[in-house]
Amino acid sequence: MRHHHIFIALSLIAALSACTARRGKSPDAKPAQSPAPAEVADPMASFARMIPGEWRVTFQSGTSMFQTWHWGPGKHSMRRMTDGAGAGGEPWRALEVVYWHPGRKQVCLLGLSPFGRGVSEGTIKFEGETADAVFDLYQTGGRRKMVLRWNFDGPDKYREKLLEATGPTGLTPLAEWDHIRSKTLTATRPRTVEVSPKPSKRLKVLEAFLGHTWEARGDEATGNAFHVQSTFEWVPLINAIYARVLAPSKDGEPRHLLDAYFYHHTGTDALRCLALSNRGGVYEGDLTVLDGGALQLDLKGYEGDRVVPHIVRFDFEPDGTLRDRVWSLKGTERTLMLDVHHKKLEPKED
Tell me the CATH number for domain 40-182.
2.40.128.20
- What pTM does this model have? 0.86
Residue 102 or 6, more confident: 102
Same fold, 4-37+194-344 and 40-182: yes
Q: How far apart are CA 24 and CA 30, in angstroms?
A: 7
pLDDT attached to residue 41: 63
DSSP state of 280: S
Residue range 156-183: average pLDDT? 93
H helices present in 64-168, as ranges: none
Q: How far apart are CA 204 and CA 215, in angstroms?
A: 22
Is residue 137 within 8 A of residue 150, CB to CB? The reply is no
pLDDT attached to residue 123: 98
pLDDT attached to residue 27: 35
In the chain, where are the structural domains located?
Answer: 4-37+194-344, 40-182
Q: How far apart are CA 156 and CA 292, in angstroms?
A: 53
Res 17 pLDDT > 70:
no
pLDDT tens digits for range 172-201: 999 999 999 998 887 655 444 445 457 778
Q: How far apart are CA 240 and CA 258, in angstroms?
A: 17
Q: 3-class SS at 250? A: coil
Let me know the angle formed at the C-alpha of 91 by 86 and 92, rounded to the nearest 5 degrees. 85
Measured CA distances, 22 to 216, 233, 278 (Å)? 12, 25, 13
4-37+194-344: CATH, from 3.30.1010.10, 2.60.220.10, 3.40.50.150, 2.40.128.20 = 2.40.128.20
